[in-house]
């Protein structure tokens, strides 16, 4: 049983570029949440997708957007990258969004130069 | 506003000794509380949760946590530490009353268990 898988594992971009990160949830899960973990900090909630819609959003600008596909996989898009967007981006899946036990992927390490 | 505080950046303990990693929270109404562990180059792994009921919660790998409502704390404990317990530990909270799906994480505490 595959857990949560994220791709790519590492990514290097320059300021102003756009990036797309991908996530496949754990089998049987239908909800995907995205978190940003800056160096030395705890994860911060970006948004959650359920039934192909953004159900809740954290305090992130509109440059951060997402999508969920019918197979429950999800993408995180970030436009007009800033140096401060450099972080580990974590995807977490759950069943129907009840966060009693999130399953996290290993993350995508994004470096913006 | 909901918040979580982990007052210690690092906790050092000798193998075989008991360990405690501290966490305090602030939330309106009753909380859902969680502990997650992060190993190098890995995502977070669920350790345990408190939803309701017994204040002492048992979790994975011999860890337990005690919910103290009066002190708004949820400290993580283990009776006998292992070197393999060395990792980054995160406390998280979700408020029951605000219909929120997001977890609020603390800044993390690095646990170092020396042989």
Predicted local confidence at residue A42, as pLDDT: 94
pLDDT tens readout for residues B78-105: 999 999 999 999 999 987 666 678 899 9
8 A C-beta contact, residue A89 and residue A39: no
Most A CBs within 10 A among B44, B45, B87, B107, hence the mutation to make, goes to B44
Dist CA B97 CA B20 (whole Å): 29
Is A7 part of the contact surface with chain B (CB cutoff 8 Å)?
no
The bridge status of strand A10-13 relative to strand A108-112 is: parallel
A111: pLDDT strictly greater than 90: yes
Please give, rounded to a whole number of angstroms, the shortest distance from the CA of A79 to a CA of chain B: 23
Q: Which residues of A touch B36 (CB under 8 A)?
A: 102, 104
Mean pLDDT (whole number) for B53-64: 93
- B5-22 tens-digit pLDDT: 999 999 999 999 999 999
Q: Does A102 touch chain B (CB under 8 A)?
A: yes
Peptide linkage before A66 cis (omega within 30 of 0): no
């Amino acid at each position: 049983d595959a857990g949560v898988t994220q791709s790519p594992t590492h990514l290097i971009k320059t300021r102003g570029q756009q990036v797309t990160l991908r996530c496949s949830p754990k089998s049987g899960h239908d909800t995907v949440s995205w978190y940003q973990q800056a160096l030395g900090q705890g994860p911060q909630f970006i948004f959650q997708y359920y039934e192909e819609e953004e159900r809740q959003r954290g305090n992130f600008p509109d440059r951060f957007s997402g999508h969920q596909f019918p197979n429950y996989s999800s993408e995180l898009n970030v436009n007009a990258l800033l140096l401060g967007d450099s972080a580990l981006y974590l995807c977490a899946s759950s069943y129907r969004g009840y966060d009693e036990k999130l399953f996290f992927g290993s993350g995508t390490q994004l470096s913006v130069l | 506003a909901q918040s979580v505080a982990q007052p210690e950046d690092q906790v050092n303990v000798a193998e075989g000794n008991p360990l405690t990693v501290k966490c305090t929270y602030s939330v309106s109404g009753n909380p859902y509380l969680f502990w997650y562990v992060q190993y190098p180059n890995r995502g977070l792994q669920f350790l345990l949760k408190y939803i309701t009921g017994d204040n002492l919660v048992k979790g994975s790998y011999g860890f337990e946590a005690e919910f103290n409502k009066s002190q708004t704390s949820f400290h993580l404990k283990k009776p006998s530490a292992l070197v393999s317990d060395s990792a980054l530990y995160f406390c998280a909270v979700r408020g029951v009353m605000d219909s929120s799906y997001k977890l609020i994480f603390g800044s993390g505490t690095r646990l170092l268990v020396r042989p």
